[in-house]
Structure 1
Amino acid sequence: MRDFASSGRGRLARLAGAWAALTIFLVLNTASAFAQSDPLPSWNDGANRTAIVDFVKRFTTDGSVDFVAPADRIAVFDNDGTLWAEKPVPFEFFFAMDEIKRMAPEHPEWKATEPYKSVLANDMAGIEAAGMKGVGEIMVATHTGMTTEAFSKNVADWFATAKHPVRQKPYGELVYQPQLELLTYLRDNGFRTFIVSGGGVEFMRVFAEKIYGVPPEQVIGSSGVVKYELGADGKPELMKEPKVEFIDDGAGKPVGINRFIGRRPIIAIGNSDGDREMLEYTTAGSGAGLAVYIHHDDAEREYAYDRTDKLAKLDKGWDEAVAKGWQVVSMKDDWKVIFPPSK
């Protein structure tokens, strides 16, 4: 009996040792496989991809002279034209147009009144002729005079069903696959990723976490005045008023970053002159900063526009990028794919 017990214990010990060795082998090899996997599979090898990866490695590796603590690893992204498409007009304006059509039965006078008449007729030339005054009227009609909760529901309902009128795809499928990978790559390396966009903050917050993984509190955008009041049921509510509070574009972007983040980013990515000051601010810190422009130069897979575009001009920013050595990512040359595979 003693021999059997002793022999049994020996076999169990050997089995336990073998199991431990196998477990260590699997863990090490799995970790190695993950380490060797490509974090940016939709990016072509080249100077821009290398610059981004090298920057992240330098600033996140313990012992590196450039090491930055996780609390200061801030990356800011513009939205329209940087994280998703923005042509022929920014998607928020398509939302506003669709809202005018949805609300039209309650406003029969719109059929004969500009700019609503042109919106109902899908007459983009007529909308353009109405100018900024007309655009402002459309935005006021669809973005104000309601609670923040009601507005968020309108956006969520629209986002769940609407399709881009040209590409006939849901707007959530017109995000840039290489940028989704970059957002994930940065977060995997301890970065907090923020959206800093001229778009409406309450519009973007509805879908930013779902499609980008960016929570509402890390979305900075233009905003209107919101007023606290008690509703008819006596419950507190926030009403959206037809007054502009903050424009998060151009020089407003560094102001917004300071106000809402309180730390200078070390990575900034945009696509137009409206992002230039954000990139300048990012690269003016005590340490090196990475500034990246996305250049729309792929008319076949997306759109091609830069110096002469009316809504998203990349002119002065491009000259500054060349002068200062910022990265200018070519959608045509640097990205293997533009959009995620269709669902």
Structure 2
Amino acid sequence: MRKQSTIKLFFQEAQQAGRFASLVVVSLLLAVPGVLAQADPLPSWNDGPAKQAIVAFVQTTTDTSHPDYVPPEARIATFDQDGTTWVEYPVYTQARYCFDRVATLAQEKPELKDIKPFKTVLSGDKAAIAGLPMADLEKIIGATMTGMTVEALTGQVQQWLETARDTRWKRSYAELVYQPMLEVMQYLRANGYKTYFVTGGSQDFVRAFAQSVYAIPPEQVVGTMGATTFGYDAAGRPKLTEEPRLLLDDNGPGKPEGIHLMIGRRPVAAFGNSVGDREMLEYTQAGSGARLMMLVHHDDAGREYAYGPASKVGTFTDALMAQAKQQNWVVISMKNDWKRIFPWEQ
């Protein structure tokens, strides 16, 4: 009776103040339990097949009366990161980090200024840097991301994210996340799913910010794994040191391998954006029951970038597009499916 009396009072006050229409809405929300919970969970998505597929999948797999119901312990969703949840073009963010670290290293070791590929990076020649072969990139990664403790690397990455700015938008790289994908992650978690990163990026690099940027804890990050070595510091305290030795290349077939190694369950939903995610989507689809496989297609040159088969970064080949259509994977069009791309857009 108290709630009814309160609602009646709202109506009376609204009539007196000339705010009847707006307070009717408030009163209804107060009077009808669950109405607020039914708000659109994906407000940055345009209505269309992609959004409908996500909502239908969540409703189906969390409905205990549906034959495709998925028990909470099996609700696993995996996400690639670069190009799927934040900007990767024209250079991967981790590569930008490593290039910036070269300058710091050169101050500590001046001899690097005359040694390739460090000399190339320090020159600032964008064309030459873009043309660096994989062997040289591996040297740069090895020099900038190993030889320190795990904690030291985490601190360096976090400090860089606080200060570095993207050249196009002049914003922190942590701000260049895709708002629609943040909403998907939150929607899945609100319905009992665990969200994991399964990324080609270095595992400890992504772990440094996954919690603060995406609300994904470090133990739910599966990435390209480098070795660590146990030892003791000068004070006799145990430590782990990053080593330049590859344990897992978490790209292509390495993604299902990493999922099995680190998660131990086959995902029921997987999100990617390039040929490097194909095997993860195939592995996900091979399970029984309802499955959701989605690929982000970068086709919005105005708000972000448009690239595909010819790009060395985030390659989305014609063969991948054909496979997506044949196997009923959902291709997300940035241009058509997303109302806004970044959290800071109006």
> Corresponding residue for 2:139?
137
Mapped to 1, the partners of 2:33 and 2:91 lie a distance apart of 44
Tell me the TM-score normalised to structure 1 length. 0.91
Mapped to 2, the partners of 1:110 and 1:214 lie a distance apart of 37
Say whether the 8 Å CA contact 1:294–1:328 is kept in structure 2. yes
Counterpart amino acid of residue 313 in structure 1:
T
Runs (5+) with no aligned partner, structure 1 = 1-17
Counterpart amino acid of residue 314 in structure 1:
F
The equivalent position to 2:330 in structure 1, one of 323, 327, 330, is 327
Counterpart amino acid of residue 207 in structure 1:
F
Equivalent residue runs for 1:80-229 within 5 Å: 80-229=82-231
- How far the C-alpha of 1:342 sits from its partner, in A, is 6.0
Counterpart amino acid of residue 320 in structure 1:
Q
Mapped to 2, the partners of 1:231 and 1:245 lie a distance apart of 24
Mapped to 2, the partners of 1:341 and 1:30 lie a distance apart of 33
Supply the RMSD in Å over aligned alpha carbons.
1.8
The equivalent position to 2:2 in structure 1, one of 11, 19, 24, is 19
Mapped to 2, the partners of 1:96 and 1:50 lie a distance apart of 39
Mapped to 2, the partners of 1:175 and 1:129 lie a distance apart of 27
Equivalent residue runs for 1:276-295 within 5 Å: 276-295=278-297
- How far the C-alpha of 1:309 sits from its partner, in A, is 1.3
Say whether the 8 Å CA contact 1:193–1:218 is kept in structure 2. yes
Mapped to 1, the partners of 2:29 and 2:322 lie a distance apart of 49
> Corresponding residue for 2:18?
none
Counterpart amino acid of residue 124 in structure 1:
K
- What SS does the aligned partner of 2:298 have? strand
Say whether the 8 Å CA contact 1:115–1:126 is kept in structure 2. no
- How far the C-alpha of 1:26 sits from its partner, in A, is 8.0
Say whether the 8 Å CA contact 2:3–2:31 is kept in structure 1. no
Mapped to 2, the partners of 1:286 and 1:22 lie a distance apart of 52
- What SS does the aligned partner of 1:32 have? coil
- How far the C-alpha of 1:36 sits from its partner, in A, is 2.9
The answer to whether structure 1 residue 42 and structure 2 residue 24 are counterparts is no
- How far the C-alpha of 1:111 sits from its partner, in A, is 2.1
Say whether the 8 Å CA contact 2:61–2:290 is kept in structure 1. no
What is the percent sequence identity of the aligned residues? Answer: 47
Deviation sequence 1:90-147 (CA, Å, 0-9, x none):
1000000111112221121222222112211222222244411211111111011111
Deviation sequence 1:246-274 (CA, Å, 0-9, x none):
11000010111111111111100000000
Say whether the 8 Å CA contact 1:127–1:135 is kept in structure 2. no
* Structure of larger gyration radius: 1
Mapped to 2, the partners of 1:69 and 1:327 lie a distance apart of 24
Deviates more, 1:18-27 or 1:303-312: 18-27
> Corresponding residue for 1:73?
75
Say whether the 8 Å CA contact 2:90–2:313 is kept in structure 1. no
> Corresponding residue for 1:337?
340
Classify 1:254/1:120 alpha carbon distance in 2 versus 1 (closer, same or farther; 3 Å). Answer: same
Mapped to 2, the partners of 1:189 and 1:285 lie a distance apart of 20
The answer to whether structure 1 residue 234 and structure 2 residue 236 are counterparts is yes
Tell me the TM-score normalised to structure 2 length. 0.90
Counterpart amino acid of residue 84 in structure 1:
W
- State the number of aligned residues: 326
Runs (5+) with no aligned partner, structure 2 = 8-26
Deviates more, 1:310-319 or 1:322-331: 310-319
Mapped to 1, the partners of 2:196 and 2:84 lie a distance apart of 13
> Corresponding residue for 1:57?
59
The equivalent position to 1:33 in structure 2, one of 25, 35, 38, is 35
Deviates more, 1:163-172 or 1:152-161: 163-172
